[in-house]
């Protein structure tokens, strides 16, 4: 039997999954089933996130609200998209600069 490939999850995904349990009051099993992940793994994420929120509250920091987390995720995606656009534009400008140099050098 071939070995199963182990899935990995980003920190943002883990936090979002944990908050589906924390913010909505739904059960870990229900959310895990919805996301297609192991309930034990989600349980660890929920415990970790609750500890993080409690630690932040202990030092006077307010945890991000659901809308703030969604906004942060959207902004991160936007920055990543813009980084891709900038990389493409750099390559395109280098290409056209090289083309221009070839034209002026051949006269």
Domain 9-63, CATH: 1.10.10
Report, in angstroms and rounded to the nearest whole number, the Rg of the chain calculated over CA atoms: 23
**pLDDT for the residue numbered 105:** 61
Token digits of residue 81: 């998209």
Q: Is 3 exposed, middle or buried (0-12, 13-18, 19+ CB in 10 A)?
A: exposed
Q: In this predicted model, what pLDDT tens digit does every residue of 29-87 receive, in sequence order?
A: 999 999 999 999 999 999 999 998 888 878 877 777 777 877 888 898 999 999 999 99
Residue with tokens 């809308």: 67
Specify the pTM: 0.58
**pLDDT for the residue numbered 69:** 77
Residue 48's contacts (CB-CB under 8 Å, 6 or more residues apart) are 14, 18
């Amino acid at each position: 039997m071939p070995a199963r490939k182990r899935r990995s999850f980003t920190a943002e995904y883990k936090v979002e999954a944990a908050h589906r349990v924390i913010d909505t009051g739904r059960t870990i099993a229900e959310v895990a089933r919805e996301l297609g992940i192991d309930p034990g793994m989600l349980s660890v994420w929920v415990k970790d996130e609750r500890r993080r929120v409690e630690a932040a509250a202990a030092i006077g920091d307010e945890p991000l609200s659901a809308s703030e987390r969604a906004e942060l995720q959207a902004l991160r995606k936007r920055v990543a998209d813009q980084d891709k656009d900038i990389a493409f534009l750099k390559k395109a400008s280098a290409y056209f600069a090289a083309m221009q140099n070839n034209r002026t050098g051949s006269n």
